Chain A
Amino acid sequence: MIEARNFAYMFYGFTAAWVILALYVVTIARRESKLKQELARLKNIVEDRERK
């Protein structure tokens, strides 16, 4: 019984570590996509104004 609980908590520990890092990677990826969109939008605005 104690051994099973011990094993379960080991599983929770590893899962928690990977979930935290995975969430952080997802956050970074979403931020990157937003930044790329914003950069493209601003480049278009500046280029449009320069043409005019």
Chain B
Amino acid sequence: MRDKVLYGIAILAAALLARNLYLIFLQLPDEAAQGAIYRIIYFHVPSAITAMLGFMVAGAASGIYLGTKNLRYDAVAAAVTEVSLAFATVVLVTGSIWARIIWGVWWTWDARLTSMFVCWLLYAGYLMLRSAVEEPTQRAKFSAVLSLFAFTDVIIVWKSIEWWRNLHPGPVLSIRTGGGNMDPAMESMIYMNLLALVLFATVLVMVRMRQEEMRREISSLRQLALAQ
């Protein structure tokens, strides 16, 4: 049953992504000031929101783990964090390529970029910590605390374009500005691609969750084999 749901979501995500790519390249116009490069926004922003949502879910799962000591929530946090980190990598790389054209530099240490880079390092550190600690309950406890700590940076990333003057543009989506900053057709494509990427991320998380279950089973079988 779970495999059917997984395949269903995967097909839906693939169809939506194909439709979106067609519209992005063949239907939507270039942006007046930036030209063709502006199309990167249709992956950059949805990838960023997908990563942030993932880190939020990981933070919530980590908090629930610390409250309940149920290792299932630790598995959720690990799976979601790893997938979100892949999307955070997309954000940093696509942003850097976009910046090379628009700002003339690959990278600048402004508040949004720096806080996002710190966020990436924190969650990469989370995954390194998990692979360094053998004992499952200790690993779950340490990584849950780190996940909650790292989530404070997600809030800083989100608010950085309001708190500080940056080279990075301020909020443009109408959910933050109330509207008027972006053409409605362009903005709706960002939401459509966000939906496609969230569905894609959900598939990846489901696969990662299955792998975490396999790891738990392997661990208990090893103990059983040693005890025999």
Residues of A within 8 A of B222 (CB): 42
Whether B86 sits at the interface, judged by CB under 8 Å, is: yes
Alpha-carbon gap, A6 to B208, bound state (A): 37
Q: In the complex the two chains form, is A28's CB within 8 Å of B211's CB?
A: yes
| CB atoms of A3 and B35 under 8 A apart | yes
Q: Is the CB of B98 within 8 A of A6?
A: no
Report chain B residues within 8 Å CB of A7: 35-37
Main SS at interface, chain A: helix
CA distance A7 to B37 in the complex (A): 6
Across the interface, A35 reaches (CB within 8 A) one of B44, B47, B214, namely B214
Interface size of B in residues (CB-CB distance below 8 Å): 34
Question: How far does the Cβ of B203 sit from chain A's closest Cβ, in whole Å?
Answer: 9
Category for how many chain A residues contact B: 20 to 34
Given contacts A17-B43, A43-B221, contact A35 B86 (CB under 8 A): no
CB pair A13 B221 closer than 8 Å: no
Within 8 A of B (CB), among A18-49: 20-21, 24-25, 28, 31-32, 35-36, 38-39, 42-43, 45-46, 49
Q: Which residues of B contact A (CB under 8 A)?
A: 34-37, 39-40, 43-44, 47, 83, 86, 89-90, 93-94, 97-98, 100-101, 200, 204, 207-208, 210-211, 214-215, 217-218, 221-222, 224-225, 228
- In the assembled complex, 7 residue pairs joining A and B whose CB atoms fall closer than 8 Å, in A order, are A2-B35, A6-B36, A7-B35, A10-B39, A13-B97, A14-B43, A39-B218
List the 10 closest A-B pairs by CB distance, nearest first. Answer: A42-B221, A13-B40, A24-B86, A13-B97, A35-B214, A49-B228, A6-B35, A7-B36, A10-B36, A6-B37
